[in-house]
Amino acid sequence: MDRDTNPPVGVSPAVPAPAGKIRQTWIDQARWAAIVLVVAGHAAGLLRSSSGLALMVSNFVYMFHIPVLILLAGWGARHAEANGRNLMRIWWQLLLPYLLFQVVAFGVNYRFEGTVPSWVFAEQTFGLWFLVALAAWRLAGPWFRGLRGAVPVAVVLSLLAGMSPDIGGFLSLSRVFIFLPLFVAGPWIVERVAEWRAHRPMRLAGAAVLAAGALVVAAQGKGFWRRPFLGNAGYEVLNLNSLEGMLVRLVVLGVGAAMATGFMLVLPGSPGAPSRVGSWVAEAGRHTMYPYLLHLPMLTIVGASTLVHAGPPTLRTLVFLAASVAFCVLTVSRPVRFLTQVLVEPHNLVQATKRLRHA
């Protein structure tokens, strides 16, 4: 999900059933935290050229915000089957919202950036690649679950895909292959995190991993090489030979998985003691499609305004980050969900209409 280079969500339970409900709660909370991370990272991305703080925040977030979403998405799809019901869910939950917001993006980009709509749906406008990639992963997931050595096979496919200079934004194929190992490994990693969160040393280790990533970003400053973490470029585009590209891609996958794991480990919350705030965050985590999809046209609108140049750079960055959190809170509220569900969750509206007809 990068705006700068392209202007513009089956492992057996490891704990008893009651703890499974607690684990589901923290996973919903993690989804919420992850989507806030995405929106904040994109907001900081608007200020990368004018604020050192925004540059560091953006670089840091881009190291692992996509892996967090993919690991959680892989866990959520761990029981999906290769049948017609799964296909219909993919259509209603992912592909139809993608088509609708692609049209929205065409209109918003034309109005605020003067970009003539291409009316091409095989190439995604900013941020929408994730829906297409998630649809592909959900289709492939059931087949990988029945494959021995599924993660190593996915890693091999990821490495080989980078050798093709022709794999890019078409149907999000570049990112589909690059991040496939994270989706396949998602169930196992998330299950391990669920166990590790109960141990303080593991949480401290997660914090140490994130701190190390932050130190790397701070030390390299403007020299930090962010492009490989975006997942939208093959080795040739990165000016790497095949061996160098594979090594870089392995580092990207390893760092992304490690930092995503660290992020999930350091999230607050204790089993068996849900707070009012924790309950709200868990509920918000069930509606993350709203801040994810609604922030995309909003970024275009803000990016075309004078807000990106208003005030001192550091203060402007802090305001943008705070506004990102507020935006995520607002967009999961019931009034906003009611007004926008026809675009974000059209399947819910269809189901509600059917219930009214049969009432």
Q: What angle do CA 243, 249, 253 make, to 5 degrees?
A: 150
pLDDT surpassing 60 at residue 22: no
Instruction: Give the rounded percent of residues in the chain with a pLDDT score beyond 70.
Output: 89
Give 9's pLDDT tier (boundaries 50, 70, 90). Answer: very low
pLDDT of residue 168: 72
Q: Is 100 helix (H, G, I), strand (E, B) or coil?
A: helix
pLDDT digits (tens, 9 = 90+) for 225-249: 999 999 988 999 999 999 999 999 9
The mean-pLDDT minimum among 162-176, 205-219, 265-279 falls in 265-279
Beta partners for residue 123, in sequence order: 170
pLDDT digits (tens, 9 = 90+) for 111-138: 999 999 989 898 888 899 999 999 999 9
Residues 103, 119: Cα–Cα separation, whole Å: 8
For 339, the token pair is 């007004």
Radius of gyration of the chain (CA): 20
**Helices 242-266 and 150-161 sit at what angle, rounded to 10 degrees?**
130
For 133, the token pair is 């990639």
pLDDT surpassing 70 at residue 3: no
pLDDT of residue 273: 55
| Residue whose pair of structure tokens reads 């200079």 in the numeric block | 165
Taking alpha carbons only, the member of 237, 243, 255, 238 closest to residue 159 is 243
Would you say 102 and 267 are in contact if contact means Cβ atoms under 8 Å apart?
Answer: no
pLDDT of residue 278: 85
pLDDT of residue 358: 63
Give 83's pLDDT tier (boundaries 50, 70, 90). Answer: confident
Would you say 99 and 121 are in contact if contact means Cβ atoms under 8 Å apart?
Answer: yes
pLDDT of residue 192: 95
Neighbouring C-beta atoms of residue 46, cutoff 10 Å: 23
Residues 52, 242: Cα–Cα separation, whole Å: 33
